[in-house]
Chain A
Amino acid sequence: MSVVVDGPSGGPFFTVQDLQVEFRTDDGVVRAVDGVSYSVERGKTLAVVGESGSGKSVTANAVMGLLDSRQASISGSALLDGEDLVDATPGRLRELRGSRLSMVFQDPLSSLHPFYTIGRQLVEAVRAKRDINKAEASARALQMLERVGIPNASQRLDEFPHQLSGGMRQRVMIAMALINDPELLFADEPTTALDVTVQAQIIDLMKDLQAEFDTAIILITHDLGVVADMADDVVVMYGGRVVERGTADDIYYRPEMPYTWGLMSSVPRMDLGESERLHPIPGTPPSLLAMPKGCVFRPRCTYHERVPGGLCDTERPDLLPTGDGHDVRCHIPAPERRALADEVLAAMRQAGGAA
């Protein structure tokens, strides 16, 4: 798992470079993803974190070729082992989907076809990519269901999605996504629709399978608890842009972007006392149709006064390195940012200690 296998180009296994996604809508062109870059190695997990509408799912769907080409235009590059997915023909993407690329979705009930049995849907996934007969595909489906920890797997093959519990359904989705040993798995909020206890099981399962198959995982989530459990690296997205990226440790112990602070203090924590209130981020995410002129986070940022000359209102900050592999998009000068980060983290700990 610690072995990093480089692609033929010598770069990381999967790299998204300056990805842009625009949607033509009746109200004008919406830039849902604006210059996003990230990368992930085999066997590693990259978490993409952000609120709804931050562009994290759109990025994944764009790379997978799952956006309607009549509505969305995609530019930039997404190199899988050196092959650009943005340039690839729809036919080539279809070949890659389900074999090298795979995806687990948020709501397993609506993502499984209600009219077909689990077995039939799994067999279909196998046979879409492999030239084997039904019996062999069935055997593979059964093996996969057992692997993801579904009891009475052979009986489950003949059941319909609605007959399974939410956790079992998500296991089926994971089995389906991994049935052809993909090298890159997008997990789009895989635990959001599940009970907390089931969430932990699903995360453990994904970690096990990742170790076994050496899969690169891009975990899309807004749940920082899940991130802490699984991620090696983290990308924080806001308003279609990356606002901070680094290792999981960077983001947890040395976050430097006010939005990341906000995300962290809005997570309910069991280790803090009951008297501790949540600190939601004030305001709402920006409308993609009317982006603020300066820093996109400026309208919700409580620290913008610390930046001289009203720079936050006029200039878009760049994503600049602040440490080894740790980049931040913020106008606040680095030393002050770090001091503020310490204050914020201390305040969070303080609140826990006070209770």
Chain B
Amino acid sequence: MTGFIIRRVIRAMVLLVLISALVFVMFNAAPADPAALTCGKSCSPEVIEANRERLGLDKPVPEQYWEFVKGIFVGRTYGSGTATFECEAPCLGYSFTRGQEVTPLILDRVVVTVQLALGAMVLWLLIGVPSGIYAALRRGQWQDKAVTAVAMFFYSFPSFFIALVLLFFVVIRWQLLPYPSYVPLTQDPWQWFQTMILPWVALALIYAGFYTRLTRSQMLETMGEDYIRTARAKGLAESTVIRRHGLRAGLTPIVTAAGLDLALVMGGAVIVESIFTLPGIGKLALDSVLTLDLPILTATVLVAAFFIVLMNTVVDMLYAVLDPRVRIA
């Protein structure tokens, strides 16, 4: 098991290095001149050149990448001579547009997005998995058809539609909730909850449909397995057969799916965060695209990639715990 974990972690690290290099090169190949973006339209060429030097943008790309990676692990110093400032590790860069270091900004946003993702996942699993099991056990009957149809309904809508409908009716028309305005949980739990509940529900509704269908098909497949027949041949109660033999095997793949979807949302739920003005990674990425804030964009992409690689590794390990057959492989 230890060897398994070490192998997976090494693989994850290699993957992240490759992704970071790719992202770095990609944004440097962008038509925009990063230095020109550091100040407004009336910027004089002298100021641009000075900024170019301060940010190290005059150096060749490989060297810039090296500085960037170094910054993440040991921190880096911008500028030279008297006009220097320290960016401590893990340094993801400096945003001239915002006049801020990227790392603390990203960390603030990640906290919000992670709260959004975790809450939404709990909700979509609570809705999707039981309804999928129920539909599978009533296969072909009207209950199955009803559940499947409702799941399909929510699954088919684009996320912005569900989010907008929720915002319009719950907040604006019926005024059941105040207009979303994010505060940290520690500051005002009630307002935090009132802000988070709609984004959670919006995301959960979209994913729950998918999880209903996934759970249903998993359960149908599992309940047709030979070992289910064996369990019945033992003369176990049907409820025991379903719980102990069916669910245990049928829900294991759901763990994988949930982990990977969680990673996707953690990387930034751009649309939901924007509609509910949640200061998360997705909203940050969108704002940075609009202002061509390359250091922040690079960092958000890296964070998203980090979550996906991280969750993939976590899911692999979880799977090895859940499925005894994986351990040897």
A105-B230 contact, Cβ under 8 Å, with A97-B235, A114-B325:
yes
The interface on chain A, measured as residues whose beta carbon lies within 8 A of the other chain's beta carbons, has a size of: 30
Which listed residue, A64, A94, A96, A110, touches B227 by the CB 8 Å rule? A110
A115 adjacent to B235 (CB under 8 Å): no
Bitwise interface map of B from 163 to 177 toward A, beta carbon under 8 Å scored 1, else 0: 000000000000000
Q: Does B249 have its Cβ within 8 Å of any Cβ on chain A?
A: yes
Question: Interface residues of B: mostly helix, strand, loop or mixed?
Answer: helix
Bitwise interface map of B from 194 to 238 toward A, beta carbon under 8 Å scored 1, else 0: 000000000000000000000000000000011101111111111
A96-B235 contact, Cβ under 8 Å, with A115-B249, A115-B323, A162-B325:
yes
Q: Does A181 have its Cβ within 8 Å of any Cβ on chain B?
A: no
B249 adjacent to A98 (CB under 8 Å): no
A98 adjacent to B230 (CB under 8 Å): no
Bitwise interface map of A from 75 to 98 toward B, beta carbon under 8 Å scored 1, else 0: 000000000000000000011111
A113 adjacent to B235 (CB under 8 Å): no
A111 adjacent to B324 (CB under 8 Å): no
B229 adjacent to A111 (CB under 8 Å): yes
B231 adjacent to A113 (CB under 8 Å): yes
B235 adjacent to A95 (CB under 8 Å): yes
Q: Does B248 have its Cβ within 8 Å of any Cβ on chain A?
A: yes
Which listed residue, A94, A105, A160, touches B235 by the CB 8 Å rule? A94
Which listed residue, A103, A160, A163, touches B233 by the CB 8 Å rule? A103
Residues of B within 8 A of A128 (CB): 234-236, 240
Chain A contacts with B in 148-189, Cβ cutoff 8 A: 160, 162-163, 173, 176-177
B226 adjacent to A97 (CB under 8 Å): no
B226 adjacent to A125 (CB under 8 Å): no
Bitwise interface map of B from 303 to 324 toward A, beta carbon under 8 Å scored 1, else 0: 0000000000000000000111
Which listed residue, B140, B232, B252, touches A66 by the CB 8 Å rule? B232
Complex formed: what's the CA distance from A272 to B4 in Å? 53
Residues of B within 8 A of A114 (CB): 227, 249, 323-325
Residues of A within 8 A of B233 (CB): 64, 66, 97-98, 102-103, 105, 177
Starting from the known contacts A98-B234, A113-B227, A124-B236, 6 additional A-B residue pairs (CB-CB under 8 Å) come to: A66-B233, A94-B237, A97-B232, A97-B234, A176-B234, A177-B233
B residues whose Cβ falls under 8 Å from a Cβ of A: 140, 225-227, 229-238, 240, 244-245, 248-249, 252, 322-325, 328
What are 10 A-B contacts defined by CB distance under 8 Å?
A: A64-B233, A70-B140, A97-B234, A113-B227, A113-B249, A114-B325, A115-B322, A124-B234, A124-B244, A125-B234
